[in-house]
Structure 1
Amino acid sequence: MIIKNARSALISNYEVFNLLNERIEYQKEVQTTRPNVEYPEHLRTIQFELAEYLKTTPTKSQTTVQVKDFLQQMNQYALTLGEKLQILNLRPKSAVEIYLLIEECEERFNEQDLDNILSIIITTLPHEEENEEEFVENE
């Protein structure tokens, strides 16, 4: 495969996680139907380690609908694809974290814009840990 445009090769952790899971399932299916086919141990190790890492990130609780909704709502802001993906992958919880992800943030956006971006993140990308924390606080 030849990448003609490096920028078009940017994908989110959510997409990587889904592709990885599809590939692992395909490999399992191939090995059950054709037991003589073996995949390199290094490949399986890398796939396992990557899947385990992605399970520790906000990616594990995201859905296709949430990701599409998030990206559509973020189109109103002049963000690069890389910035949108960083926000999607890391799911910042405060304006300070957003400042770290967006280049020249203080010059491009005002406080109201940052509050709106944070609100979009919180509403479109709910995180399992927040639900657990709310449950613990209510007890």
Structure 2
Amino acid sequence: MKIKNTRSALISNYEVFDLVNDRISYQKQIQQSQSNVDYPEHLRTIQFELVEYIKGTPTSTQSEDQVKAFLQQIDRYSLTLGEKVQVLNLRPKSAVEIYLLIEECEERFSEEDLDNILSIISTTLPRPDEDDDGIEEMEQALETQ
């Protein structure tokens, strides 16, 4: 593979995850059909570690349909591509997290806009770690104090 133009595009963790998994599948097919082909051990190590890292992030549960729905709905806000990718990768759950991801957020968006952005995130990109058990445990801990 030859890189024609470095940094010509930003891609999300979902796209990286999908690409690496496709590449791993392709490599396995080639190795099964051609026994003399061997991929370097360091390449397989990097691929494995990358997949394991992404499995531990909110990105691991995303689907192509979710990403498309998110991008369509968030399009009405003037976010840069980098900001969209960051929101997509990290799936912020609070306005504070959005302030950290979006440059000059307080100047560009009202509180209502931030609430709408959070609503879009929670509906189009649901997180498996958003369960009621964690909320109940937090409420119980606050009551005992």
> When the two structures are superposed, what TM-score results if normalisation uses the length of structure 2?
0.88
**Distance in structure 2 (CA, Å) of the matches to 1:30 and 1:128:** 35
The one-letter amino acid paired with 1:31 is: Q
The one-letter amino acid paired with 1:36 is: N
RMSD: 1.3
Alignment of 1:57-136 (within 5 A): 57-130=57-130, 133-134=131-132
Cα deviation code 1:36-64 (max 9, x no counterpart): 10101000000000000000011111000
Q: Rg bigger for which structure?
A: 2
Cα deviation code 1:26-45 (max 9, x no counterpart): 00111110111010100000
**Distance in structure 1 (CA, Å) of the matches to 2:9 and 2:39:** 25
The one-letter amino acid paired with 2:4 is: I
The one-letter amino acid paired with 1:125 is: L
- Percent same amino acid at aligned positions? 69
Q: Match of 2:4, SS?
A: coil
**Distance in structure 2 (CA, Å) of the matches to 1:135 and 1:29:** 42
> When the two structures are superposed, what TM-score results if normalisation uses the length of structure 1?
0.92
Q: Match of 1:129, SS?
A: coil
8 A Cα contact 1:91 1:125, kept in partner: yes
* Corresponding residue of 2:5: 3
The one-letter amino acid paired with 2:38 is: E
Establish whether residue 49 from structure 1 lines up as the match of residue 46 from structure 2: no
The one-letter amino acid paired with 1:88 is: L
Show structure 1 runs of 5+ residues with no match: none
* Corresponding residue of 2:34: 34
Provide the aligned length of Structure 1 versus Structure 2: 133
Show structure 2 runs of 5+ residues with no match: 137-145
**Distance in structure 1 (CA, Å) of the matches to 2:82 and 2:70:** 14
The one-letter amino acid paired with 1:97 is: E
Alpha-carbon distance, 1:134 to partner = 2.7
The one-letter amino acid paired with 1:3 is: N
The one-letter amino acid paired with 2:45 is: T
